[in-house]
Structure 1
Amino acid sequence: MPQMKPTLSLGQVVLFGLAYMTPIIVLGTFGVLATLTEGAVSGAYIAALVAMLFTAHSYGRMASAYPVAGSAYAYVRHAIDDRLGFIAGWVILLDYLFLPMVIWLIGAAYLHSAFPAVPTALWLLAFIGVTTAINILGLRLASAVNGVMMLIQLLVLVAFVGLCMHYVLGDPSQPFWSLTPFLGAESASLPLLMAGAAVACYSFLGFDAVTTLTEETKDPQRTLPRAVLLITLCGGLIFVVVSYFVQLAAPGSDFANPDAAAYEIARNIGGDIFVSLFLIGLVVGQFASGIAAQASGGRLLYAMGRDGVLPRRLLGRLGRFNTPVGGLCLSGAVALLALTLDVLSAASFINFGAFTAFALVNLAVIFQYYLKDHRRHGLDAFWFLLCPLVGLGAILWLMFSLDGTAITLGGLWLACGLSWLAWLTRGFRQPTPELRLET
């Protein structure tokens, strides 16, 4: 039976994680965060980074303990309980299923700002249709140009920061160093800052995705813990630095359209030509990210359908081009919900699923190392009890800082998962189905 070969080095895994995170997303969500935090975007990213570093440590520890594909689902299943593992898999499905929706919604919002005569809904439908068609036909072409897409968005990001610095230096009344991007114009309250951090965590989604590459990574028990921390730290520093200079160039939180505020800022700092370049970079980044996210989600749905956890006839079969057509089409159909949502609501909903998985992985470290392996003495108590407890507390705080709609919808999603599990196990009397999450 064919098996995956370990070929990926530490550098390759880190680059994969950063590409999955899509660094230019910091510009895509800037206006939403500025409005939510009243101008303290950098502060929100620092709070999110601290929480993510503790959780990244937990992911690294579990990847070392269980060097298999499956990420949060596998870790929770092996370390704690089959049923909690299923719930972890269920909330992972929430992320994979709805993440393309947010990606396409951000891209559509910016294209509408550039071409206001074309409705946002039309841009959204175009994103969904083109991306779904590419994924159904196969990713060979997309894979070939993925590196070029990543280079384009990084160049645009560097140019954006450079123009922001030039804009600030050209204004004698504007200091080059200020605490305002961290605290807000009027010292944002802690609840406001944490509400922003809860949404800012959306930008970090993807740092955990590299744990699904366990079976394809050289010396995964050493490489993956380092890679997860490096991806989180590098991504967080990019987000903090970029948001700092953008906030200096555009202080406050008053934007005509918060969902596409960076478009307005790009025009102020670089004129019409740079606006066009910025828009190309952002749309390219969102398009590439959307392809990857939908492909991953379709593959996850196929795995669950193949294992009989979801309807096999609809989702557990491959199409003519050897791609999971049912899962890809379902992902595209779910994205139509974006026609009734804004970026803040959609991203918050996604984050509820991520936070639930993150909380369970922090718990898994305690169960695996502190309780099962009895690693309780000296520094072990710090690494395997205190750190995951801090990570768990930070994640729960962020979760309850989400808006009420996200918590309600997320709670309903969890309730659906529990109901589905009860049905699959005939009232929890039969073994929990085992998923082979090869994403």
Structure 2
Amino acid sequence: MSTTPTLPAPATDQADAADLREFGYEPELRRGIGSYASFAAGFSFVSILTTVFQLFAFGFSFGGPAFFWTWPLVFAGQFMVALTFAELAARYPLSGCIYQWSRRLAGATVGWFAGWVMIIAQIATVAAAAIALQVVLPQIWSGFQLVGGDPSLTSTSGATNAVLLGSILITITTIINVIGVRLMAIVNSTGVTLEIIGVVAVIGLLLFHAERGPGVVFDTGGTGTGLAYVGPFLVSALMAAYVVVGFDSAGELSEETRDPRHTAPRTILRALAAAGIGGGLMLLVALMAAPSLTDGRLATEGLPYVLTSRLGETGGRILLVDVAIAVAVCTLAIQTAGSRMIFSMARDGVLPFSAALARVPARTGTPVLPAIVVGAGAIAVLLVNIGQAALFTAITSVCIVMLYIAYALVTVPLLARRLKGWPGGEEGVSTERGGRLFTLGRFGIAVNVLAVVYGIGMILNLGWPRQEVYDPAGAHWYLHYFSLLFVGGAILAGALVYSRYRARTRSLHLTLPVVAPGEPA
């Protein structure tokens, strides 16, 4: 009887494994992600080709062409957040990064709630991404309308078909996640490459068909002038706020990334920068190339209307195929990030069924059950869309509020720690490649303050109970206040779960790793 010898792990993997053990964790996840795949994880979560197509009409309907300026403002605010995340990614290269960073900065209780809020937000965001297939596929070919004849998301047949298409997509992404991180990385990287090609194509083709100059972005479209425009502008800013999230996914996959202290900080920033520049240019050229700014179609049909009217049915459909690919890899990336968050908390024993959720099969080196839980939860959220389209829209809107809250549970404690001297004692500490850890240096406090101010301001803007956002049809009183009700309910449910695991959570070993021996406690 012969046996196949086990090949020794590469030196870099051994070093990464030893680094992980400094945090008290045994390496279980398979390291199969390189620099580009790490970048792709963050870029595909943002997925400008998916979300700008979905939400362009929303922003334009409230703010007119001048809503364009919400994009650079939101991008600048989120880039401040990303800079602080990059510092943390270099020092704590752990899966479930929002949970892990928060609990090391603010203690076990705050960290637990950051992770809980993030899990709920990610499950709802998977559903929101998957349902975008209904906006795209029936426009490519009517055969994708499997139920009834009306593809509108607000119709009974359209809503049912959206749930069916979304559920099929989530099932496929779950299978990919279960098979392993290498397949996920290959699929995701390929999809992101095609998405980037599509973004460049959209920008180039629409610029060629431009009817007006870039000065169009100073036109409010009759939505108000001076101080009267502040209200519409703030509402239209929700479009950009919905899009520019998820860049932290590169950090979520740190334990599966080679040289994570070097790679993750850079890919977090690159993913956000690429999405910010690409998305801003798409908005600008769409406004420049739109056949009309006043016929009402931009406010109802959005970017697909611009593409099909300028590029014809064939050209528009080719680009819509690329959008469908972007929707698929976006769904895959969000589900992957969500499963790592659940795994990270479960291995600390602070979630129900932690033992099962933390199990990682040696054959695949990937957390299987968390991926299934995220997929099943997202499909359950999708089912709300049947007969309750307004409720589904409210849920997907509020999930972005939850993401911003989770981010604030990192940036606020980080600022408090920074004022006490964080980070410190890093002399001689380097990345896996011998370079310095990413640091903001003397700009750290200023950047962190801007990140906190932006984050709190956007939470208030996103969560403000506006009827035109959460209940435009005036269907149900509770939808008007849905953001407050949902966030309150999520925190209450979290408190009930936390009460069972309080002792375990508080007993976690929170000593900071050896990477910064002089760091203040």
- Shorter-chain TM band: 0.7 to 0.9
The offset of 1:267, in angstroms, is 1.7
Contact 1:14–1:228 (Cα < 8 Å) also in 2: yes
Percent of pairs with identical residues: 16
Q: Does 1:161 align with 2:161?
A: no
Q: Which runs of 5+ in 1 are unaligned?
A: none
Contact 2:79–2:272 (Cα < 8 Å) also in 1: yes
In structure 1, the partner of 2:443 is 383
Provide closer, same or farther for how the CA distance between residues 63 and 310 of structure 1 changes in structure 2, counting only shifts above 3 A: same
Provide closer, same or farther for how the CA distance between residues 400 and 434 of structure 1 changes in structure 2, counting only shifts above 3 A: same
In structure 1, the partner of 2:81 is 55
The offset of 1:299, in angstroms, is 5.1
Q: Does 1:177 align with 2:214?
A: yes
- Secondary structure of residue in 2 paired with 1:348: helix
Aligned pair partner of 2:327 in 260, 271, 286? 286
CA distance in 2, matches of 1:149, 1:109: 19
1:57-88 Cα shifts (integer Å, max 9, x gaps): 11112223323333111111011121111111
1:359-415 Cα shifts (integer Å, max 9, x gaps): 12211322333225487xxx9895333221211111111111124233432232223
CA distance in 2, matches of 1:15, 1:295: 12
In structure 1, the partner of 2:459 is 399
Aligned pair partner of 1:421 in 498, 506, 521? 498
The offset of 1:148, in angstroms, is 3.9
Provide closer, same or farther for how the CA distance between residues 434 and 269 of structure 1 changes in structure 2, counting only shifts above 3 A: farther
Aligned residues: CA RMSD: 3.5
The offset of 1:144, in angstroms, is 4.7
CA distance in 2, matches of 1:294, 1:223: 21
Provide closer, same or farther for how the CA distance between residues 292 and 217 of structure 1 changes in structure 2, counting only shifts above 3 A: closer
Aligned pair partner of 2:302 in 261, 278, 281? 261
What pairs up with 1:166-205 in 2 under 5 angstroms? 166-168=208-210, 171=211, 174=212, 176-178=213-215, 180-181=216-217, 184-186=220-222, 189-205=229-245
The offset of 1:152, in angstroms, is 3.3
Deviates more, 1:322-331 or 1:348-357: 322-331
What pairs up with 1:235-250 in 2 under 5 angstroms? 235-250=275-290
Aligned pair partner of 1:334 in 381, 385, 388? 381
The offset of 1:233, in angstroms, is 1.9
Contact 1:28–1:260 (Cα < 8 Å) also in 2: no
The offset of 1:417, in angstroms, is 1.7
CA distance in 1, matches of 2:324, 2:440: 46
CA distance in 1, matches of 2:445, 2:507: 30
Q: Give the letter for the 1:362 counterpart.
A: T
Provide closer, same or farther for how the CA distance between residues 65 and 253 of structure 1 changes in structure 2, counting only shifts above 3 A: farther
Contact 1:135–1:323 (Cα < 8 Å) also in 2: no
The offset of 1:341, in angstroms, is 3.5
In structure 1, the partner of 2:167 is 129
Contact 1:317–1:326 (Cα < 8 Å) also in 2: no
Q: Does 1:323 align with 2:368?
A: yes
CA distance in 2, matches of 1:249, 1:434: 56
The offset of 1:253, in angstroms, is 7.3
Contact 1:47–1:194 (Cα < 8 Å) also in 2: no
Contact 2:96–2:340 (Cα < 8 Å) also in 1: no
Contact 2:118–2:402 (Cα < 8 Å) also in 1: yes
Contact 2:119–2:338 (Cα < 8 Å) also in 1: yes
CA distance in 2, matches of 1:244, 1:257: 13
- Secondary structure of residue in 1 paired with 2:125: helix
Deviates more, 1:286-295 or 1:110-119: 110-119
Aligned pair partner of 1:270 in 292, 311, 323? 311
Deviates more, 1:56-65 or 1:307-316: 307-316
Q: Which runs of 5+ in 2 are unaligned?
A: 1-25, 143-148, 152-156, 425-438, 466-481, 511-521
Contact 1:199–1:351 (Cα < 8 Å) also in 2: no
Deviates more, 1:259-268 or 1:283-292: 259-268
Contact 2:130–2:170 (Cα < 8 Å) also in 1: no
Deviates more, 1:300-309 or 1:120-129: 300-309
The offset of 1:2, in angstroms, is 4.5
CA distance in 1, matches of 2:38, 2:244: 16
CA distance in 2, matches of 1:298, 1:267: 37
For normalisation by structure 1, the TM-score amounts to: 0.83
Contact 1:92–1:353 (Cα < 8 Å) also in 2: yes
Contact 1:309–1:433 (Cα < 8 Å) also in 2: no
CA distance in 1, matches of 2:258, 2:244: 24
Aligned pair partner of 1:410 in 479, 487, 494? 487
In structure 2, the partner of 1:309 is 351
Q: Does 1:42 align with 2:68?
A: yes
- Secondary structure of residue in 1 paired with 2:351: coil
Aligned pair partner of 2:410 in 361, 383, 389? 361
Contact 2:86–2:265 (Cα < 8 Å) also in 1: yes
1:324-381 Cα shifts (integer Å, max 9, x gaps): 2344323311222234245863442121111112212211322333225487xxx989
CA distance in 1, matches of 2:95, 2:331: 22
Contact 2:113–2:494 (Cα < 8 Å) also in 1: yes
CA distance in 1, matches of 2:337, 2:269: 22
Q: Give the letter for the 1:263 counterpart.
A: P
- Secondary structure of residue in 1 paired with 2:420: helix
CA distance in 2, matches of 1:274, 1:102: 26
Q: Does 1:23 align with 2:48?
A: yes
Contact 1:127–1:287 (Cα < 8 Å) also in 2: no
1:168-204 Cα shifts (integer Å, max 9, x gaps): 2xx4xx2x221x3366334662343233333312222
Q: Give the letter for the 1:87 counterpart.
A: F
For normalisation by structure 2, the TM-score amounts to: 0.71
